[in-house]
Amino acid sequence: MSETIHQRRIIIGAVICVAAFALVGIRLVHVTLLKSWEGGRAATAVVARADLTDRNGELLARDLPVKDLYARPVVFWDKREAARGLAAATGADERRLLNGFNNAKHPYVLVARQITPATEARVMHLGLPGLEFEAGGKRYYPDGRNAAQVIGVTDADNAGVSGLELGLQDQIQKAAGGKVATSIDMRVQYILSHEVKQARDTFTAHAAGGIVMDVNTGEVLAMTSQPDFDPNQRRLGEHDSTRNIMAQDVYELGSIFKILTFTMALEDRTLKSLDEVFPIGQGMKLGKFTIHEAEHMPTTLPARDILAQSSNIGTSQIALRSGSTRQRDFLTHVGILKPLKSELPESARPLYPPSSNWGEIATATIGFGQGISVTPLSFVAAAAQVVNGGRSIVPTFVKQEKADLRGEQIIRPEVSEQMRDLLRYVVTNGSGKRADVVGYDVGGKTGSAQVPGPGGRYIPHALRTSFYGVFPAHNPRYVVYILLDQPHGTKATAGFALAGWTAAPAVGRVIARIAPLLGVPNVPPPTRLASQ
């Protein structure tokens, strides 16, 4: 009898042990595989992104495998100690973790996102129960600050939020595991960024930027905006900026706008010839306003020297010959009066007078680049059409297979040729001399604009200087543009801060460095025989 009782007890104990082990096994399967047990957290799908590369295949952005760390605080034996340890291991805020651990409404608490293998090892060393690692991706940018605003960044869910990461979002996701080639040439980008930074530092400018564009395809080979930021860091430094001033800000660009005024005059045949002489004098009165020169000018100037010496008074007279209606129509025709559309999502609408206020004074001032504000990228694209034979182009940040993507004829070819000669003359005989590079026939135009301040008044002695350069002038392939926001003169420039002293030399240095890389042939200067 007692034997039967003992046997029953043994059987009951065995059943209980089997059941206990079964429950433990089921729980282990749940923890390791299912994770969607009651009160659990459903796994989030990882969105893979293609690599971004420059036009030569150099890596610009890539997904790196990382993990998101979650905790189930109900299993912690000491929540305060767990919060302290996890904060030290991951850099998370200890107070946030502790508040989350003490909140019974949330069975899972996010500890940290996109942790690296090294951080994961520190977490595992804590020996805490209830931790779960979810696989994900973190975008990595090998070149750091270089072209940061152009390439852009992704958010914590690895979705593009700015720059080409946002603008090319569909292509990047569709080509997951592959590559998306941009138009950027990182060799050119390094050079442009270096020279712009050096110019900004030299002249203590508030900000600076630059663009290099192919005039036949519209491809942007380089674009920089400074101050910049490190896209690999989730926090901005004290002097960092994510703003791309080349595409996102509008400026009164000053005298480089005279390129468009002269193109309009030649297109309209309102200039008898480039040798036609105009009176300059000491000032030009229009109603209650007087137009002045930035520098001393002769009493009279021929048309070609009005551009070369950058005369505001002479250019105003030339603009007024076409009139306000024609000026507005022409600027619309070359695309300067509408927002620019490209793969770069950052853009801004131009600012200009309404038709009712676009009268004689507006026509004169817009003729020399005041009273109208556009993005530098928009101007560069419009002026590229002036020199590329007069045909339309669309700026692009994606590598193109064709070497010529010019569209319809918007400016007569002979006018484009005249403007190329004129821009070369500005560099050889005018305000752009410091941009000249022996052997590359640089053409270009300086621009020194007053800076608007509070209340619409211009800030005294504040300038925004820029230079638009094209090379080779006789058969253009590329334009280089650099802008300096409120530079200051130096001892080397005798205190002058105009574009001819600040922006023009920087453009010349960029051209001298990138022309050989881009295969632009160097034409030796003509041989000069010594006189007897």
d(CA 124, CA 128): 7
Q: What 8-state DSSP symbol labels residue 519?
A: T
- Give the SS3 label for residue 419: helix
Kindly report the number of other CB atoms within 10 A of residue 526's CB atom: 5
- Cβ-contact 384, 213 below 8 angstroms: yes
The alpha carbon torsion through 103, 108, 113, 117 (nearest 10 deg) reads 120
The full DSSP string for 483-500 is EEES----TTTTT--SHH
- CA nearest neighbour of 424 among 392, 383, 394, 469: 469
d(CA 110, CA 105): 14
Question: In whole angstroms, what separates CA 39 from the centre of its chain?
Answer: 46
- Residue type at position 160: G
Q: Is the peptide bond before 524 cis (omega within 30 degrees of 0)?
A: no
Any bridge partners for residue 351, and if so which? 373
Residue 365, sorted as left (phi over 0), alpha (psi -120 to 50) or beta, turns out to be alpha
For residue 131, what are the CA distances in angstroms to 67, 69, 217, 294, 343?
12, 7, 53, 68, 41
Residues involved in catalysis: 255
Return the sign of the alpha-carbon dihedral for residues 276, 281, 287, 290.
positive
- Residue type at position 24: V
Tokens 């100690």 locate to 81
The alpha carbon torsion through 228, 229, 230, 232 (nearest 10 deg) reads -130
Q: How many CA atoms lie within 13 A of 185 on its CB side?
A: 17
